[in-house]
């Protein structure tokens, strides 16, 4: 006796394929993931060049199409330098720990419906399980151990700080991501990826769970350490972050893990909120759009749309400060995600009791939550940009003043570096410091014996 849920999850579709078919599907998934960094690096560099009015890679192959492959070969053939003082076993193991979980997470992502391959009926999915989304969450969490161990084993300050930052990001943003998953579970009634795709046959969850989708999009960028949330490898602060001491093939494995993780979170967003392999409207009006091999095309297009957003964010937005990034996760995303889960749970209970208001309530609740978030962001922006009592107190000798008081005096060289005054400030009347009197680049003369006698 087989059990089939109302959402379309059928356990008999998995675990009964012949060994050669399982091996072939695993190989296809592996090749699909390898194409993401090969094509993604080239498209990212071309996109940056287009936005910055440059040409970009154009030397290797037509329009530079083979540049990514040549870069990979170059990194593989370069000499691997291992600094002295590192913990060598962990130093060598860290890139592997970072890359392997990125490939493992894709095992439960559905690429398409059931098809026929050489006379065998099989689903376009390597495997599935009743808790498949939790499996993805657990496996992707293991990847951060590679980053943390890489920073610790390098025996250097900056890599260690980068590894600690990455672990803090995962702790912060996986909470909000898990709460987004919970709202999907409540609406779909299952945790299996194929079941969630089946539950979106009529309406994609992006419409019913819009706040959860927006929070997940922010959390997945922070989870993959991509700009503007690439704090673990901020070159302006940490040189290169956790991979500062890595070179050659080991550095290439960190890059591979980053781009494969981007593909994994993009495919998961597609599966949970955008109908998975289902065709978008109006293509879905065609009877054969969601059958055969066509869904594989729709799935790939959706994944690359998410990857394009990753590239766009990196080219368009500046990097956040680390305290701003942590405040966004703990004070904004997590409370809103928790409140949204309570809304979805309430609507689910009402629906189970016979009230047919689920979709309407979720859409209205999503609009309300988005409006509240926009109001909070606007209020925080006004609060950070306002001058408390007149002129804010900042480093460099700038002193604020209270409302109604006289303008504060300002010493442009108090911090050791001359800075201009803020509006409403006056220069102090005291003599400038010795640093300000000395010309730039001139070393003060050492006092002589005649000066001492005088």
Find, among 387, 385, 417, the residue nearest to 402 by Cα.
387
Identity of the highest mean pLDDT range in 233-237, 362-366, 425-429: 233-237
For the cut 80, the answer to whether the pLDDT of residue 331 exceeds it is yes
- The pLDDT score that the predictor gives to residue 238 is 73
pLDDT at 231: 78
427: pLDDT strictly greater than 90: no
Written as one string, the DSSP assignment of 40-99 is: HHHHHHHHHHHHTT---S-SSSGGGTTHHHHHHHHHHHSPPP--TTS-HHHHHHHHHHHH
Q: What is the pLDDT of residue 400?
A: 44
Burial per residue of 119-134, b for 16 or more beta-carbon CB atoms within 10 angstroms, e otherwise: eeebbbbbbbbeebbe
pLDDT at 397 over 80: no
Mean pLDDT over all residues of the chain?
80
Q: What one-character-per-residue DSSP string does 235-280 give?
A: HHHHTTGGGTT--HHHHHHHHHHHHHHHHHHHHHHHHHHS-TTPPP
**pTM for this predicted structure:** 0.76
pLDDT band, very low/low/confident/very high, at 360 (cuts 50, 70, 90) = low
Sign of CA dihedral 437, 442, 445, 446: positive
**32-56: b (≥16 Cβ within 10 Å) or e:** bbeebbbebbbbbbbbebeeeeeeb
pLDDT tens-digit readout, 1-26: 333 344 445 666 777 888 899 999 99
pLDDT tens digit sequence for 288-300: 888 888 999 999 9
């Amino acid at each position: 006796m087989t059990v089939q849920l109302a959402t379309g999850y059928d356990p008999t579709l998995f675990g009964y394929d012949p060994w050669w078919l399982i091996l072939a599907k695993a190989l296809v998934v592996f090749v699909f993931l390898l194409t993401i960094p090969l094509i993604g690096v080239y498209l990212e560099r071309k996109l940056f060049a287009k936005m910055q009015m440059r040409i970009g890679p154009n030397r290797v192959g037509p329009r530079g199409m083979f540049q990514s492959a040549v870069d990979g070969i170059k990194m593989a053939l370069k000499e691997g330098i291992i600094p002295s003082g590192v913990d060598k076993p962990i130093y060598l193991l860290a890139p592997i720990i970072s890359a392997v979980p990125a490939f493992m997470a894709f095992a439960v992502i559905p690429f398409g419906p059931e098809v026929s391959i050489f006379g065998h009926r099989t689903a376009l999915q390597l495997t599935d399980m009743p808790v498949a989304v939790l499996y993805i969450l657990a496996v992707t969490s293991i990847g951060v151990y590679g980053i943390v161990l890489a920073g610790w084993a390098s025996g250097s300050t900056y890599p260690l700080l980068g590894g600690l930052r990455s672990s803090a990001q995962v702790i912060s943003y996986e909470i909000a991501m898990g709460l987004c998953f919970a709202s999907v579970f409540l609406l779909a009634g299952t945790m299996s990826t194929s079941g969630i795709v089946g539950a979106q046959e009529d309406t994609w969850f992006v419409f019913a769970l819009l706040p959860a989708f927006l929070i997940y999009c922010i959390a997945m960028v922070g989870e993959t350490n991509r700009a503007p949330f690439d704090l673990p490898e901020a070159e302006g602060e940490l040189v290169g972050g956790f991979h500062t001491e890595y070179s050659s093939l080991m550095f290439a494995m960190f890059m591979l893990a980053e781009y494969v993780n981007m593909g994994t979170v993009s495919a998961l967003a597609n599966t949970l909120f955008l109908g998975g392999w289902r065709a978008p409207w109006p293509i879905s009006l065609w009877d054969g759009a969601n059958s055969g091999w066509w869904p594989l095309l729709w799935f790939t297009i959706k994944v690359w749309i998410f990857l394009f957003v990753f590239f766009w964010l990196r080219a368009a937005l500046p990097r956040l400060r680390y305290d701003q990034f942590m405040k966004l996760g703990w004070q904004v995303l997590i409370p809103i995600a928790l409140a949204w889960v309570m809304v979805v749970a309430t609507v689910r209970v009402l629906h189970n009791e016979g009230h047919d208001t689920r979709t309407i309530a979720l859409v209205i609740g999503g609009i309300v939550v988005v409006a509240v978030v926009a109001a909070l962001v606007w209020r925080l922006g006004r609060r950070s940009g306002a001058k408390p009592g007149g002129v804010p107190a900042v480093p460099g000798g700038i002193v604020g003043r209270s409302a109604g008081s006289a303008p504060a005096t300002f010493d442009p060289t108090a911090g050791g570096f001359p800075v201009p005054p803020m509006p409403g400030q006056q220069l102090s009347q005291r003599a400038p410091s010795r640093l300000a009197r000395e010309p730039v680049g001139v070393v003060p003369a050492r006092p002589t014996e005649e000066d001492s006698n005088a």
